[in-house]
């Protein structure tokens, strides 16, 4: 094919992010929330609908997403000037690498978009293996920082797919040692489910700290809304590469309404955390599998024949994520509703018993 010769080599050698729709009855593969908008948000949305939401679609959305950012500012307790809005946090990862370039350092295994976007933008990557407890290998990271001088360091904490938070002391050490030399992104996609406070309270102490948040894991994955939270100087620079109308009007309006109902969002998060604990306990009782403790809305687990277990679950209509090639021998299951979790546990027990 002649186009193969025209494509940039770094793009040609990329594998696309695997996000195909696999038919299933119970979808526990993508770390989504089992719960959507609250009743209050739905009713607020209905009154908005009759006013202007659908009658102004002939106009472009607010390029600055000011109303949405105001609500986000209140929700996260940070000044509006420190927030940049993205079409999902994926887009903000793209913008960060576009703005600063590489090398990009991140531990592995971690969220797969870090490598995909780094490579798509033709930047260099530095991958450092996590230690046997899935924590950061600080010694190796510090060594790489000294030798290879990464411009960006990506730390997903809690980490996807392992589910644990990295040690706060290690993250702080990295932020401190790289001050004025690298930008450290703490990707807090799963922070709402963690027992630790996260890094927002430390934002003013470190100018090279950037925090990534998303609404995708707390019930609004379909809207595609994420936020980059950082020092104003960083926000202003990254904002230069942002596409002007990156979040559509409907998503802006609905996300603003959802953020306004903080109580419902927090209640659902708390409920998912308690379900996660129950799911973990139930999984721990199944002989032949080994779940890893999680601070996120999913659980990584080791199973004898992971391919077979994955396929058998799918045969019963239950879709989980096969982590083959990322954490071999492991599957990752998202915390669902109590009913979904019960069906998953019963199916898993049956499958393991026959293996």
Q: Which of 214, 246, 249, 251 binds ligand PMP (CB under 6 A)?
A: 214
The phi and psi torsions of 297 (rounded to 5 degrees) equal -105, 30
From residue 144 to residue 183, the character string flagging contacts with ligand PMP as x (rule: CB under 6 A) and all else as - is: ------------x---x-----------------------
Q: What is the DSSP string of 159-222?
A: PTTT-PPPPHHHHHHHHHHTTTT-EEEEE-TTGGG-SS--SGGGGGG-TTEEEEEESGGGTTGG
88 forms part of the interface with ligand PMP (CB under 6 A): yes
Q: Which of 192, 226, 291, 336 binds ligand PMP (CB under 6 A)?
A: 226
Q: Is 101 left (phi over 0), alpha (psi -120 to 50) or beta?
A: left
How many residues touch ligand PMP under the rule CB under 6 A: the total is: 13
Q: Which of 75, 95, 111, 301 binds ligand PMP (CB under 6 A)?
A: 111
Nearer of residues 102 and 161 to ligand PMP, judged by Cβ? 161
Residue nearest to ligand PMP (CB): 88
From residue 180 to residue 199, the character string flagging contacts with ligand PMP as x (rule: CB under 6 A) and all else as - is: -------x-x----------
Where are the alpha helices (H) located in 240-354, listed in sequence order? 249-260, 262-284, 306-315, 338-354
As a whole number of angstroms, the distance between CA 349 and CA 343 comes to: 10
Residue 288 Cβ, how far from ligand PMP at the closest point, in Å? 28
As a whole number of angstroms, the distance between CA 352 and CA 355 comes to: 5
As a whole number of angstroms, the distance between CA 276 and CA 159 comes to: 16
255 forms part of the interface with ligand PMP (CB under 6 A): no
Q: Which of 29, 32, 44, 90 binds ligand PMP (CB under 6 A)?
A: 90
Q: Which of 31, 162, 297, 322 binds ligand PMP (CB under 6 A)?
A: 31
Nearest to 79 by CA among 222, 214, 227: 227
Q: Which stretch binds ligand PMP (CB under 6 A): 50-58, 83-91, 140-148, 165-173?
A: 83-91
Beta strands 330-334 and 321-322: pairing type?
antiparallel
261 forms part of the interface with ligand PMP (CB under 6 A): no
Q: Which of 33, 38, 73, 89 binds ligand PMP (CB under 6 A)?
A: 89
Residue 184 Cβ, how far from ligand PMP at the closest point, in Å? 15
From residue 35 to residue 74, the character string flagging contacts with ligand PMP as x (rule: CB under 6 A) and all else as - is: ----------------------------------------
The phi and psi torsions of 229 (rounded to 5 degrees) equal -125, 120
Q: Which stretch binds ligand PMP (CB under 6 A): 88-96, 241-249, 262-270, 302-310?
A: 88-96
Which residues, in sequence order, are CB contacts of 261 under 8 Å at separation 6+?
38, 40, 41, 44
List, edge to edge, every strand of the sheet that includes 330-334.
289-291, 298-303, 330-334, 321-322
The residues that touch ligand PMP, with contacts defined as CB under 6 A, are 31, 88-90, 111, 156, 160, 187, 189, 214, 216, 221, 226
């Amino acid at each position: 094919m002649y186009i193969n010769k025209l494509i940039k080599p770094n793009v040609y050698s990329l594998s696309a992010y695997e996000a195909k729709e696999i038919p299933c009855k119970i979808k526990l593969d993508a770390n989504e929330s089992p719960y959507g908008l609250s009743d209050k948000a739905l009713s607020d949305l209905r009154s908005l609908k009759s006013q202007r939401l659908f009658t102004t679609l002939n106009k472009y959305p607010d390029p600055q997403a000011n109303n949405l950012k105001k609500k986000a500012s209140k929700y996260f307790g940070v000044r509006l000037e420190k927030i940049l809005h993205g079409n999902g946090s994926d887009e903000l990862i793209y913008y960060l690498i576009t703005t600063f370039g590489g090398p990009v350092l991140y531990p592995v295994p971690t969220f797969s978009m870090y490598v995909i976007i780094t490579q798509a933008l033709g930047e260099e990557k530095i991958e450092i293996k996590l230690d046997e407890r899935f924590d950061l290998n600080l010694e190796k990271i510090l060594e790489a920082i000294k030798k290879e001088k990464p411009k960006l360091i990506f730390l997903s904490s809690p980490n996807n797919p392992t589910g644990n938070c990295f040690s706060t002391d290690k993250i702080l050490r990295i932020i401190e040692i790289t001050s004025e030399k690298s930008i450290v992104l703490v990707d807090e996609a799963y922070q709402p489910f963690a027992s630790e406070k996260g890094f927002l309270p430390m934002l003013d102490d470190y100018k090279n700290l950037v925090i990534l948040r998303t609404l995708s894991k707390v019930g609004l994955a379909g809207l595609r809304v994420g936020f980059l939270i950082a020092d104003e100087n960083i926000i202003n620079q990254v904002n230069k590469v942002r596409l002007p109308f990156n979040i559509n009007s409907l998503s802006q309006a609905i996300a603003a309404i959802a953020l306004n109902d903080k109580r419902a969002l927090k209640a659902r998060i708390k409920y998912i955390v308690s379900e996660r604990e129950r799911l973990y306990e139930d999984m721990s009782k199944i002989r032949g599998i080994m779940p890893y403790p999680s601070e996120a809305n999913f659980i990584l687990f080791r199973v004898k024949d992971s391919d077979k277990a994955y396929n058998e679950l799918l045969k019963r209509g239950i879709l989980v994520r096969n982590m083959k090639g990322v954490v071999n021998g492991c599957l990752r299951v998202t915390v669902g509703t109590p009913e979904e979790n019960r069906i998953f546990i019963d199916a898993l027990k049956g499958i393991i018993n026959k293996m």
